[in-house]
Amino acid sequence: MLDLVVRNAKTIDGQKFDLGISDEKIVEIADKITNKSQNELALTDDQYLSPGWIDDHVHCYEKMTLYYDYPDEVGVNRGVTTVIDAGTTGAENIGNFCELVKKAKTNVYALLNISKWGIVEQDELADLTKVQHNAVRDAIEKYPEFIVGLKARMSKTVIGSSGIEPLRLAKEFQSEYGGLPLMVHVGSAPPELSEIMDLMDSGDVLTHCFNGKENGILDRTTHKIKDFVWEGYKKGIVFDIGHGTDSFNFEVAKQALNEGMISSSISSDIYVRNRQNGPVYDLATTMEKLFIVGYSWEEIIKQVTEAPAKNFYLKGKGKLAVGFDADITIFTLKDSEKEVTDSNGNTCTVKQEIIPVKTIIGGQVYDN
């Protein structure tokens, strides 16, 4: 007997099927499931289903004071089944974070900040004595299921006078520990974006890719994407949105798309203040902003499911397929006019909202 059957399932590209779940896994997909089940969930005609949404850039270690939130506030309550905390904690406090998230309904993973205390202060990479080889090694070995990558924040307010050295150290750690995924935060210089991208390799994740800063991807004189950015993009650097309070600009995103450059993954960089006060609010709102830019819903759904699962080696996530985790987001598309704002105060009106209505995590159904 199945634990749950989802009937009248429909994906954004129009595929229709029933979906069967047992022991927290998808075990059957068919036009019509005839096996008996303990529970059934029938979708209405206006509801769609996708793999569970994954937000690969959040800050949800509740004991911090600078950037913090609560996993279920940015996760299951917002239609998101899996979050990756992007470097809030380092080797000294990631163990406590790992214990805290065990009470969450949302699946939670973490990127280890290479600075041992994480983002306790804004300039965590200004003092390189906090970047300790043994501490990084011990944390990775102790929490291999929780830590899915490394994080280095490479912008002026973070590095002080350390220059490009923190990224060199992060790349050394990455190489030593089996090619762990690496996310690199970019912002105001120094260091220059060109220096950062020169050190990054295919598969490395550049977050805040469409920020509106002078040190961003857009040449403010020519209003074109900088040549060296195209070189990095073509060699396989992963472009992640990482909206945040100060890191997404409509003009930059639109110009990139006009030139044929699209993001690889969509993430919110959400924490309590930009969740409550904007401009982020939730992952769905960030997705709507990419729809305004010109992305299709099919592209957008892929960038919050399959893409982050691939980029961070999240086995069993990101697809609706037999054997994969029973993590599912059910949502509607509502024709309406809603004003949204980027990180620089520019406003646009979205003509269609994406609204999560139910979130399934490990086969357990939660209402939104």
Q: Would you list which residues are annotated within the binding site?
A: 57, 59, 151, 185, 208, 269
Give the position of tokens 């919050």: 304
Query: Residues 6 or more apart from 107 whose CB is under 8 A from it?
Result: 52, 75, 81, 82, 83, 317, 327, 361
Residue by residue, DSSP assigns 154-216 as: ESHHHHTT-TTHHHHHHHHHHHHTTS--EEEEE-SSSSPHHHHHHH--TT-EEESTT--STTS
Q: Extract the annotated binding site for Zn(2+).
A: 57, 59, 151, 185, 208, 269
Burial class (CB in 10 A: 0-12, 13-18, 19+), 341: middle
Q: Which of 291, 300, 332, 262 is nearest to 54 (CA)?
A: 300
Beta bridge partners of 28: 20
Tokens 């598309």, located at residue: 333
Residue 244 token pair? 């945040």
Cα–Cα distance measured from residue 116 to residue 132, given in angstroms and rounded to the nearest whole number:
7
Instruction: In whole angstroms, give the CA distance from residue 8 to residue 168.
Output: 51
Place of tokens 């994740």: 205
Q: How far apart are CA 148 and CA 62, in angstroms?
A: 19
Cα–Cα–Cα angle for 96, 58, 209, nearest 5°?
140
Please state the φ and ψ torsions of residue 227, each to the nearest 5 degrees.
-60, -45
